[in-house]
Amino acid sequence: MRDAYIVTAKRTPGCKQRKGAFKDTRPEDLITFILDAAMSATPGLEKKDVEDLMIGCSFPEAEQGLNIGRIVSQIAGFPTGTSGATINRFCASGLEAIALASLRVMSGWSDIVIGGGVEAMTYVPIGGYLPRPHPEYSEDSANYYMSMGITADNVAKRYKIAREDQDEFAYLSHKKAAFARDNNLYKELTPTPATRFVLQPDGIYKKETFIQAADDGIRDTTTAEGLAKLNPVFTAGGTVTAGNSSQMTDGAAVTIIMSEAKVKELGLKPLAKLKYYTTVGCRPDEMGVGPRYAIPKLLKKAGMDIKDIGVWEINEAFASQALYCIRELGLEKEIDNINIHGGAIALGHPLGCTGAKLCAQLLTNMRERGVKYGVESMCVGGGMGAAALFELCD
């Protein structure tokens, strides 16, 4: 098969659900803007050259419903002939979209495809607006519909992940993120227009636009001692709190993927190649353990070992599950190479966007450190794990 080259990877800031800068900004506007930003950052590429858009979205309903992948292609001004699809693998939706876009290029079916993701959790909550579990099936299999927070408490209890360790992990996430923000290390982040409605003296709300330039969930003043004072939020006597869980977030991210022939034709210097991608199932009542199984499966496919990987992005859905996976994989000695600029506890987890967002962050980190191989992985609601291997281009 051909190689799939990522030539551009961009993301918006991640902003807090209902309280953040994007609370009045529609998801279509977020993904449309970052599509335009990625196109503008790719010299010589015109919208007519893009054949398809694969856009991840975990809860494609309401404002982000119908087929947002197709809708935003048209809002963004791609020609009618550019198709679009919406991809849903819950927390791995954005990465799944990138993988599917890459496969189209690898197979020769397409030469230029965009993969990305969007989630506006202000507009559509976890679970969506009208979840309807199967009545008979759920009597014996309710775990498949279980709150992810409860599964995180299950992981903490079953595998003895101490509350103190979870809070310390969360504190470090904020610390790393604040450092990266203050030192302009998020090279993949593009300041993004945001909407707000301002009450006027005549009682009418006026729509205004401002530029949001940073992730607004980072808490500089977070301490492990402060986190220790928070109450559990999912199970009585549990150890998972709002402070050691990922934030619910609004955001969007995209990658532009090309064949080698198109890269050469446009005279571009690609960022990286997607080499391998895999998924795996696990018990739904401890869905957070997914990366612990997906990463070994990925490395086996690639004929590689943990020591071959220079940088990791392991999604911090919850500190309990991230710590469990790190320990089980023997990655404690690699902790300085994991989520080096903070993770979802500080930066947020905009579900369908996260896989694309982490891809953009990972490629930035690989270039910053000059490492050849990086891995992105996450747990997935319903009991799954996903992982992808990227190779930095010279």
Of all helices (H) and strands (E), which one includes residue 307? Answer: none
What global pTM score does this model have? Answer: 0.97
91 noted as active-site residue? yes
353 noted as active-site residue? no
Question: What is the C-alpha to C-alpha distance for residues 151 and 378, in angstroms, rounded to an integer?
Answer: 14
349 noted as active-site residue? yes
Overall average pLDDT of the 53-73 stretch = 98
Q: Is the distance from CB of 71 to CB of 28 less than 8 angstroms?
A: yes
Query: In the prediction, which pLDDT does 142 show?
Result: 87
Q: What are the chain's domains?
A: 5-127+246-389 (3.40.47.10)
Q: Which of 333, 335, 307 is nearest to 322 (CA)?
A: 335
DSSP string, 316-367: -SBHHHHHHHHHHTT-GGGGGGBSTT--HHHH---GGGHHHHHHHHHHHHHH
Question: What is the C-alpha to C-alpha distance for residues 103 and 378, in angstroms, rounded to an integer?
Answer: 20
If one counts every other C-beta atom within 10 angstroms of the C-beta of residue 161, the result is 26
Residues 282, 325, 349, 359: which is the catalytic one? 349
Residue 2 pLDDT level (bands cut at 50, 70, 90): very high
Q: Which of 375, 378, 369 is nearest to 390 (CA)?
A: 375
Query: What's the count of helices (H) and strands (E) in the chain, helices before strands?
Result: 12, 12
Q: Any idea which residue has 């992730």 for tokens? A: 215
C-alpha 148 chain-centroid distance: 16
**The pLDDT of residue 353 is above 90:** yes
Residue 84 pLDDT level (bands cut at 50, 70, 90): very high
**148: buried, middle or exposed (CB in 10 Å: 19+, 13-18, 0-12)?**
buried
Question: What is the C-alpha to C-alpha distance for residues 264 and 207, in angstroms, rounded to an integer?
Answer: 44
**Cβ-proximal residues to 310 (8 Å cutoff; 6+ apart), any chain:** 337, 366, 369, 371, 372, 373, 374
If one counts every other C-beta atom within 10 angstroms of the C-beta of residue 262, the result is 19
Residues 15, 57, 91, 282: which is the catalytic one? 91
Residues 15, 282, 379, 393: which is the catalytic one? 379
**Cβ-proximal residues to 389 (8 Å cutoff; 6+ apart), any chain:** 274, 275, 276, 277, 298, 299, 302, 304, 309, 373, 374, 375
**The pLDDT of residue 1 is above 90:** no
Q: What is the pLDDT of residues 146-193, one digit of tens each?
A: 999 999 999 999 999 999 999 999 999 999 999 999 999 999 999 999
